[in-house]
Structure formats: structure tokens, C-alpha cells
């Protein structure tokens, strides 16, 4: 069993690095490059480069999610539900896992389907045909979801690390404080998710997702808010 868990952790780390690394590449490198480069170069990159990057991106997300779920289920079965969800490890890993799950769903249900439309449109234009009419809005919708994932990645990684390496983040808890923590945390996380997904995808900006700097700062602010909730409600 220890060998099995070690293998799962290895797969989780390796695929997670692949996923998040390409996520940061998309947001910190590719998107600013596309905004500054000429249309023919951008079109060629969308047809040839983006599909390759998206393949590693979405399957990195898939293997990260599946290996993480298996590790989570093993720990839950090993400790028991009541003890798990009142332990420092269980609370921290579940907090990170909620955001990680939303990120995974964003990849497969929002980013990938919309990017397929963008790629198909660029291919049609290269063949002398008309662009797909909703390609621009679809690309912007995928961009907002990708920025949301970038925002979530900062607190997600913090709490994943906190689960094993910062157990003193919480102490004794009561059922009332646990309920308050989960209600407030899930509402905040839900608002962040909705900000990236709901509304008119034709908007030119969506604060704080309209810039890389705003997205990063929002990620650190969300980390601080969730940590303060841990510190104030669960100690």
C-alpha cells in the first residue's frame, strides 16, 4: 500500500507540474505574445502550437485530478469521515481540493471546448474561408476560465502544501466553527468561479481577470482570506 501511495503521489506531482506549468505558460507568456504579434504569426501558432500545448494541458489536468482523487479517497477511508474532516490534513487538503476540482472542470468543460472553436476558426481562415462568427467570444470565454484557474492555483497550492507541511495551521475545532468556515469559504470560492464564467463573454475586461497582474494579486488575496478564515475560525 505504501508503494501504491508513493506511486500515486509521484503521478500527482508530475502531472500537476505539467498542468500548472502550461497554465502559467498560457497566461504569462503566450497571451501577451499573441496580443503583440502580427495576425499571420498568431494564426500559425493557433493552428500548430496551441493544439499541442492544449493536449499536454488537458491530460495533465486529468491525471492530476484522478491521482489526487485516489489519494484523497484512500486517506478518507483510512482515517474515517468524522476524524478526517476535523483534522488539519483533511481540512486543508479539502480546501485545496475544492479549488483544484473547479480548475479541472474549467479545463475540460470550458477551456478545451472553446479553444477547439478558436482552432477550427483559424484553420478555416488559413484555408481561405470565413472565420467562425463566435470564435472571438469563445476565445475570450476560455481566457477568463484560464485566468480563473491561474487565480485559484495560488491558494490551491498553498493549502495542498499546508496539508502535510503546516499542520499547526489549525487546532481544536467545534462543529459551529467548521460550518461557518465551509459556508464562508465556499461562497467566496463560488463567487470567484462565477466571476470568470458568468456574464457576457464579449466583455473586453473582467476585473481582476483583465490583466495578469490583477489575476496574480487576486490569487494572493484569496489565499490570505482563506488562511485568515482558518486562523480565526479553526484555532
What is the residue range of 145's domain? 2-233
**Cell (9 digits) for 47:** 493552428
- Cα(95)–Cα(226) distance, integer angstroms: 9
Whether 22 and 56 have beta carbons less than 8 Å apart is answered as yes
The mean per-residue pLDDT over the stretch 57-83 comes to 93
User: pLDDT tens digits for 127-143?
Assistant: 888 989 999 889 989 99
Average pLDDT over residues 84-98: 90
pLDDT in the model for residue 155: 97
Contacts of 24-33 with CB under 8 Å at 24 or more apart are: 24/150, 24/153, 25/53, 26/53, 26/57, 26/146, 27/146, 27/147, 27/150, 27/212, 27/215, 28/212, 31/143, 31/212, 32/212
Residue 21's pLDDT is: 97
% of residues, the chain, pLDDT over 70: 91
| Residue 40: all three cell numbers together | 499571420
Find the DSSP H helices in 1-128.
2-24, 31-36, 39-79, 81-84, 88-106, 112-126
Q: Is 80 helix (H, G, I), strand (E, B) or coil?
A: coil
pLDDT of residue 39: 87
Please give the pLDDT value at position 168: 58
Residue 121 has what pLDDT?
A: 94
Number of domains, the chain: 1
C-alpha to C-alpha distance for 150 and 169, rounded to whole angstroms? 24
Report pLDDT digits (tens) over 12-38. Answer: 999 999 999 999 999 999 999 998 999
> What pLDDT digit, counting tens, does each position of 44-57 carry?
999 999 999 999 99
Contact 118, 138 (CB under 8 A): yes
pLDDT at 206: 66
Query: What does the alpha-carbon distance between residue 4 and residue 26 come to, in Å, rounded to a whole number?
Result: 33
Start-to-end CA distance of the chain, whole Å, equals 33
Q: For position 178, what pLDDT does the model report?
A: 87
CA torsion 183→144→45→128, rounded to 10°? 130
Query: In the prediction, which pLDDT does 2 show?
Result: 83
Give the DSSP letter of residue 39.
H
pLDDT tens-digit readout, 153-210: 999 999 998 887 766 555 555 667 888 999 999 999 999 999 888 754 554 556 788 8
Q: Per the structure block, which three cell numbers stand in for 234?
A: 479553526
pLDDT at 200: 47
Amino acid at each position: 500500500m505504501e508503494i501504491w501511495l508513493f506511486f500515486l503521489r509521484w503521478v500527482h506531482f508530475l502531472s500537476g507540474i505539467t498542468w500548472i506549468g502550461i497554465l502559467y505558460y498560457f497566461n504569462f507568456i503566450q497571451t501577451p505574445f499573441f496580443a503583440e504579434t502580427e495576425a499571420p504569426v498568431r494564426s500559425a501558432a493557433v493552428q500548430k502550437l496551441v493544439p499541442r500545448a492544449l493536449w499536454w494541458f488537458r491530460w495533465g489536468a486529468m491525471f492530476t485530478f484522478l491521482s489526487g482523487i485516489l489519494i484523497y479517497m484512500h486517506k478518507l477511508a483510512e482515517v474515517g469521515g468524522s476524524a478526517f474532516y476535523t483534522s488539519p490534513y483533511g481540512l486543508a487538503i479539502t480546501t485545496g481540493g475544492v479549488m483544484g476540482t473547479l480548475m479541472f472542470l474549467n479545463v475540460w468543460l470550458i477551456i478545451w471546448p472553446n479553444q477547439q472553436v478558436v482552432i477550427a476558426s483559424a484553420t478555416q481562415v488559413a484555408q481561405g474561408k470565413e472565420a467562425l462568427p463566435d470564435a472571438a467570444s469563445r476565445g475570450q470565454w476560455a481566457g477568463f476560465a484560464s485566468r480563473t484557474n491561474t487565480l485559484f492555483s495560488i491558494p490551491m497550492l498553498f493549502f495542498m502544501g499546508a496539508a502535510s507541511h503546516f499542520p499547526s495551521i489549525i487546532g481544536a475545532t467545534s462543529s459551529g466553527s467548521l460550518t461557518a468556515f465551509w459556508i464562508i469559504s465556499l461562497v467566496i470560492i463560488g463567487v470567484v468561479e462565477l466571476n470568470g464564467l458568468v456574464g457576457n463573454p464579449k466583455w473586453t475586461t473582467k476585473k481582476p481577470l483583465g490583466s495578469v497582474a490583477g489575476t496574480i494579486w487576486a490569487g494572493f488575496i484569496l489565499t490570505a482570506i482563506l488562511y485568515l478564515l482558518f486562523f480565526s475560525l479553526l484555532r
